Amino acid sequence: MSNDDASWRERLPGARERLGWWTLPMFLIVGLAGSVLAGSLAAVYYGQQVSGLEEETRSSRAELRGAVQDVERAREEALAEIEDEVESVREALTREFPFEDVTTSGVVALRAVTGTSSQGQQQAPAGGGEADGAVFAQETTEPGEPTATDEPQQDPATSPSPSPPPSPPPSGPREERFATGFAVASDRGTTFIATVHSLIADPDAPGGVVGEVEVITPRGTARGIVHSWDAGRDLALIRADIGEVPLLAWRPSGEALGVGERLIAAGVTPTLNTVQVAGQVAYTDVTVLVTDLPHIDFLRGAPIVDPRGLVVGVYTTEYRPFGSSAGERQGSAPAQLLCERMLRNCEALEAEPEE
């Protein structure tokens, strides 16, 4: 070995046998620096990824906040509407009905039995058609003159049809029906009661109706004769000797009903318990009174009255002026239709107009 080689090795930091001791810290320092650099690069990378995701979802978060606000607003509006509906129902339930006992106002229960051979005496409808009933003239007669119970006056616009020939005993099943009726005329003990044709309809009976019904009053049960009817408008008139009874006053024809006006169907159960249900006018004209009154079978024939207790119609279940589809609304006969088809001189029933 030359001297030059020896001097070069001497210039190295330490002897050759100690070379590994000083290189180890160098490797550690370099490795640590690399780890720090890699971690910094990873942090920068993932930071950029997070920023990108935040940018992408920022609009979605804004839309979500808007949707939450819309849902909350809709919830508040729905709760307000529900509260308004509950308040209106609560108000309707707390309103007083016009009658404590409708039987004191000429309202009666009626019972008819179909499918029996005992049909009793009946009148044929005038004009020969289902929609043309005999007309009761509500006029006072002098002593000695025939009354409406002896010879019912016919509509001058139609000619009476002969009574139908006797039919064989009915073969259909026996059926018991109940309805409500209310007095529209009372003279010398004979009372005329308005009700519905669907109570007395019997295809196996002469003329398609039963001849008589039971009239149930607080005084007892009496025999009622089917006087006239109008099948197309679900109206009928019964006469019975039940003594003088009070008559409900009718709403003056000049006081028109308005949509949304409150009405009451005032009827009785077969045991003469008063039943009054409230509803509103949905539509009305000269031919029909459409309401949202609930459908209750034994209220058929009940008077529909306004909050003052004045008659505005007859509660019916089979009147279909708009066709066979009943829908959710109940079609009933207006009081003026009852007057035109079944009575005369209805002005005598009208209450005095309000000032």
Of 94, 117, 139, which residue constitutes the final position of a domain?
Answer: 94
Q: What is the CA radius of gyration of the chain?
A: 45
Residue 14 and residue 141 in one domain: no
Q: Is residue 64 part of a domain?
A: yes
Query: How many Cβ atoms are within 10 Å of 17's Cβ, its own excluded?
Result: 7
Same-domain check for residues 292 and 326: yes
Choose the final residue of a domain: 46, 76, 94: 94
The one-character DSSP state at 203 is T
Assigned domain for 355 exists: no
Q: What is the DSSP letter of 251?
A: P
**Same-domain pairing of 271 and 338:** yes
Tokens of 152: 């019912």
Clarify whether residues 205 and 88 are in a common domain. no
Nearest to 341 by CA among 109, 157, 148: 157
> Taking Cα atoms as reference points, which of 316, 325, 289, 180 lies closest to residue 238?
180
- Asked if 81 and 113 sit in the same domain, the reply is no
What whole-number distance in Å separates Cα of residue 229 and Cα of residue 127?
Answer: 12
Q: What integer pLDDT is reported at residue 57 of this predicted model?
A: 75
For position 242, what pLDDT does the model report?
93
> Do the domain assignments include residue 265?
yes
| Strands, E assignment, 188-271 | 190-195, 212-217, 220-230, 235-241, 262-268
Residues 77 and 164 placed together within one structural domain of the fold: no
pTM beyond 0.85: the answer is no
Rounded to an integer, what distance in angstroms lies between the CA atom of residue 58 and that of residue 245? 81
In eight-state DSSP terms, residue 346 is G
Kindly give the confidence (pLDDT) of every residue in the chain, 355 residues in length, as a single tens digit, with 9 standing for 90 and above.
555 555 655 555 555 555 555 566 666 676 666 666 666 666 766 777 777 777 777 777 777 888 888 888 888 888 888 877 666 655 555 467 899 999 999 999 999 998 765 444 445 453 333 333 333 443 333 333 333 333 333 333 333 334 444 445 545 678 899 999 999 998 888 999 999 999 999 988 888 999 899 999 999 999 999 999 999 899 999 999 998 889 999 999 888 899 999 999 999 999 999 999 999 999 998 889 999 888 888 899 999 999 999 999 999 988 887 765 545 566 899 998 998 888 877 888 888 776 5
Q: What gap in Å lies between CA 306 and CA 13, rounded to an integer?
A: 119
354 in a structural domain? no
Burial code (b: 16+ CB inside 10 Å, e: under 16) for 232-248 equals bbbbbbbbbebeebebb
Amino acid identity for residue 47 in this structure: G
Structural domain including 343 reads: 102-349
Residues 86 and 109 in one domain: no
Task: Note the pLDDT of residue 244.
Answer: 85
pLDDT at 124: 44
CATH number of the domain to which 334 belongs: 2.40.10.120
11: its two tokens: 């210039």
CB 292 within 8 A of CB 328: yes
CB 211 within 8 A of CB 123: no
The token pair that represents 226 in the structure block: 């089917």
328 and 202 within one domain: yes
Same domain, 81 and 4: yes
Minimal CA–CA distance to 152: which of 163, 139, 137?
137
Whether 110 and 87 map to the same domain: the answer is no
3-class SS of residue 219 = coil
Q: Which residues pair with 250 in a beta bridge?
A: 311, 350
Q: Note whether 180 and 110 are within 8 A (CB).
A: yes
Closest listed residue to residue 148, CA positions, set 301, 349, 345: 345
Structural domain total, the chain:
2
Q: Which two structure tokens, joined as six digits, stand for 108?
A: 């009666």
Q: Is the same domain home to 274 and 138?
A: yes
- The whole-angstrom separation of Cα 66 and Cα 69 is 5
69, 94, 119 - which closes a domain: 94
Half-sphere exposure of 111 (CA within 13 A, CB side): 13
Give the pLDDT score at 243: 87
Question: Which pLDDT score is estimated for 38?
Answer: 67
